[in-house]
């Protein structure tokens, strides 16, 4: 699979405890991206953060949170990213979704 040099980076900021169709929302998003043959997706778990409600979520020992920040990053062609947002938008009850124009320098699988 090839992606154009001028691509888009989709970032979806959600909470670790967010669910959709009985599974973690981040897992559902990654599965949807794979089913639609997007170039790739990565889930990043934050150690601390806050969102619109300004409530701090942290992994500190004295204040363990079960709702740490999650960022799902997906890179592909701009038109594929825009189409994908329409699929995941209804599943996101709370969070933030951003798109950035990017330049793809390298995209290849590991050499065997």
To the nearest whole percent, how much of the chain has pLDDT over 90? 67
Which pTM value belongs to this model? 0.85
pLDDT of 13 over the 60 cut: yes
Average pLDDT over every residue of 14-31: 95
Average pLDDT over every residue of 11-20: 94
Architecture of the domain delimited by 6-103: 2-Layer Sandwich (3.30)
CA distance 28 to 24: 6
Question: How does residue 65 score in pLDDT terms, banded at 50, 70 and 90?
Answer: low
Between 84 and 3, the more confident residue is 84
Residue 49 pLDDT:
76
If phi over 0 gives left and psi between -120 and 50 gives alpha, with beta otherwise, what is residue 12?
A: beta
Domain definitions of the chain by residue range: 6-103
Residue 56 pLDDT:
61
CA distance 32 to 26: 10
Contact 15, 71 (CB under 8 A): no
Residue 46 pLDDT:
85
Residue 110 pLDDT:
75
């Amino acid at each position: 699979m090839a992606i154009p040099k001028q691509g888009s980076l989709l970032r979806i900021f959600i909470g670790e405890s967010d669910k959709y169709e009985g599974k973690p929302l981040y897992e559902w998003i990654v599965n949807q991206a794979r089913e639609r043959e997007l170039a790739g997706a990565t889930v990043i778990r934050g150690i601390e953060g806050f969102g619109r409600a300004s409530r701090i979520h942290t992994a500190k020992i004295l204040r363990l949170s079960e709702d740490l920040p999650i960022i799902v990053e997906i890179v592909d062609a701009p038109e594929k990213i825009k189409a994908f947002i329409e699929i995941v938008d209804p599943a996101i009850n709370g969070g933030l979704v951003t798109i950035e124009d990017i330049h793809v320098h390298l995209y290849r699988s590991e050499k065997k």
